[in-house]
């Protein structure tokens, strides 16, 4: 039994698309409106730094669904930007000045890239979030033939890997002493660094002093710890900022994201927030966190859709994530703590292994490189919420080599 008849979703990204399609899949028969401020129908972002950038996938293959899908499902896609929410009247105002009423409003406004302060409008300094960004980046990579990437996280390294495959000379500059330091263990950092170096990617790690060399308002180089890396093309991959302004201006609580409760409701119970923009209490993290992944966007959308149509349920999905670089697929189940003692299974040198992380003798996360079966098993175990000790895991998996 549905609790409302009119739902407006702001943001046509992974979370917004999943929400509107899940509402229909769950049998919701009220009005569904999806407000999108990008010029194309909702599309997948992960290929932008992978198969789209490398030229294996084209723009028209990125859409989640065709225009017919939205028409057949009676999902009203409104190409506009939401500029204000009036929670008392339950309306939103669009940039076109149109007003939409709602029973339930879902904010799926995602995030935008953090830019290097003071260099936002410099020619040749790009960032990657949208299809338009990816198109520009690909064109410039092919014409320039070299690039400096600022930031050695998942995104920067995926782009570096594609650059190497395309024969584009690439140097990655990173402030931390190792790659993907926020998200993976030291072992995984080392394996990926080695594989990327073998493909020709150069790294400067632990860089404390970073600046751009300009000619007028055009970049001509990156200054890293006193060294000048000459280039006309710089990609900054230094994190994202949640799009919380719309919520904050409407009086909803925000912090590092739009704050939600366990049901993904904001401080106004008729307004939800999901995906990259939402900070939520996560049982696997034991804290309020904001996660940036496809899994999080999809599962939160499904949670809200089933709550709106049927009985409200708390969000309890296991976080998982993947990245593809240097011919390797890394899949992470759970949230890793790098200090945890580990068990390693497989072959590091061959680039096919899994690292099992424990906290207080309980399995909390698993990193798998080119071991999809381990990843699926890890998700099953972690989702079951059974407390698995190193001994129990060893028994389950058969003989394992202890980590060095």
Ligand X SMILES: Cc1cc2nc3c(=O)[nH]c(=O)nc-3n(C[C@H](O)[C@H](O)[C@H](O)COP(=O)(O)OP(=O)(O)OC[C@H]3O[C@@H](n4cnc5c(N)ncnc54)[C@H](O)[C@@H]3O)c2cc1C
Q: Give the nearest distance from C-beta 294 to ligand X in angstroms.
A: 4
Of 84 and 396, the one with the shorter C-beta distance to ligand X is 84
Q: Does 367 bind ligand X (CB under 6 A)?
A: no
Task: Give the tokens for residue 331.
Answer: 């899949």
Q: Any residues with CB less than 8 A from the CB of 197 and at least 6 apart, and which?
A: 203
3-state helix/strand/coil string of 65-102 = CCHHHHHHCCEEEEECCEEEEECCCCEEEECCCCEEEC
Task: Give the tokens for residue 195.
Answer: 């594989």
Residue from 10, 250, 355, 369 binding ligand X (CB under 6 A): 10
Task: Give the tokens for residue 8.
Answer: 């407006």
Q: Does 233 bind ligand X (CB under 6 A)?
A: no
Rounded Cα distance, 103 and 190, in Å? 51
* Beta pairing, strands 320-325 & 328-334: antiparallel
Of 155 and 326, the one with the shorter C-beta distance to ligand X is 155
Site size toward ligand X (CB under 6 A) is 37
In this chain, which stretch among 136-144, 225-233, 305-313, 317-325 interacts with ligand X, using CB under 6 A?
317-325
Is 212 buried (19+), middle (13-18) or exposed (0-12) by CB count in 10 A? buried
In this chain, which stretch among 40-48, 115-123, 175-183, 345-353 interacts with ligand X, using CB under 6 A?
40-48
Q: Give the nearest distance from C-beta 277 to ligand X in angstroms.
A: 6
In this chain, which stretch among 21-29, 251-259, 269-277, 341-349 interacts with ligand X, using CB under 6 A?
269-277
In this chain, which stretch among 57-65, 173-181, 228-236, 275-283 interacts with ligand X, using CB under 6 A?
275-283
Q: Does 109 bind ligand X (CB under 6 A)?
A: yes
Residue from 7, 8, 9, 15 binding ligand X (CB under 6 A): 15
Residues 163/201, Cβ–Cβ less than 8 Å: yes
192-203 burial string, b = 16+ CB within 10 Å, else e? bbebbeeeebeb
Q: Does 153 bind ligand X (CB under 6 A)?
A: no
Q: Does 305 bind ligand X (CB under 6 A)?
A: no
* Beta pairing, strands 104-107 & 271-273: parallel
Q: Contact positions toward ligand X, by CB under 6 A?
A: 10-16, 35-38, 45-46, 48-49, 81-82, 108-111, 128-129, 155, 243, 246, 275-277, 292-295, 297, 321-323
């Amino acid at each position: 039994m549905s609790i409302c008849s009119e739902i407006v979703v702001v943001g046509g990204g992974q979370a917004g698309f999943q929400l509107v399609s899940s509402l229909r899949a769950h049998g919701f028969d009220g009005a569904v409106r999806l407000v999108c401020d990008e010029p194309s129908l909702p599309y997948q972002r992960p290929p932008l730094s992978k198969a789209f950038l490398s030229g294996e996938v084209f723009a028209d293959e990125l859409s989640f669904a065709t225009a017919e899908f939205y028409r057949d499902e009676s999902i009203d896609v409104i190409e506009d930007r939401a500029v204000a929410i009036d929670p008392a009247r339950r309306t939103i105002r669009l940039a076109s000045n149109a007003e939409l009423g709602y029973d339930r409003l879902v904010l799926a406004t995602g995030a935008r890239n953090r830019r290097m302060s003071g260099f936002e409008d410099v020619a040749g300094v790009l960032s990657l979030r949208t299809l338009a960004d990816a198109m520009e980046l690909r064109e410039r990579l092919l014409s320039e033939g070299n690039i400096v990437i600022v930031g050695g996280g998942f995104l920067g390294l995926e782009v570096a890997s594609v650059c190497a495959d395309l024969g584009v000379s690439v140097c990655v500059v990173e402030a931390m002493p190792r790659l993907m330091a926020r998200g993976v263990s030291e072992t995984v950092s080392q394996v990926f660094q080695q594989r990327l170096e073998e493909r020709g990617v150069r790294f400067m790690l632990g860089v404390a002093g970073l600046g751009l060399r300009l000619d007028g308002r055009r970049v001509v180089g990156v200054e890293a710890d006193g060294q000048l890396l000459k280039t006309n093309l710089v990609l900054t991959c230094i994190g994202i900022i949640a799009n919380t302004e719309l919520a904050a201006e409407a009086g909803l609580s925000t912090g590092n994201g739009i704050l939600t409760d366990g049901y993904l409701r904001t401080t106004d119970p008729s307004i939800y927030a999901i995906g990259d923009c939402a900070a939520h209490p996560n049982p696997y993290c034991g804290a309020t966190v904001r996660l940036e992944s496809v899994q999080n966007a999809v599962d939160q959308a499904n949670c809200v859709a089933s709550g709106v149509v049927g009985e409200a349920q708390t969000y309890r999905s296991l976080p998982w994530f993947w990245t593809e670089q240097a011919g390797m697929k890394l899949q992470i189940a759970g949230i890793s703590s790098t200090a945890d003692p580990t068990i390693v299974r497989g072959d590091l040198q061959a680039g096919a292994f899994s690292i099992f992380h424990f906290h207080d003798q309980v399995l909390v996360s698993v990193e798998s490189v080119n071991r999809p079966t381990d990843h699926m098993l890890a998700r099953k175990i972690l989702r079951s919420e059974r407390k698995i000790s190193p001994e129990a895991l060893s028994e389950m998996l058969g003989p394992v080599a202890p980590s060095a």
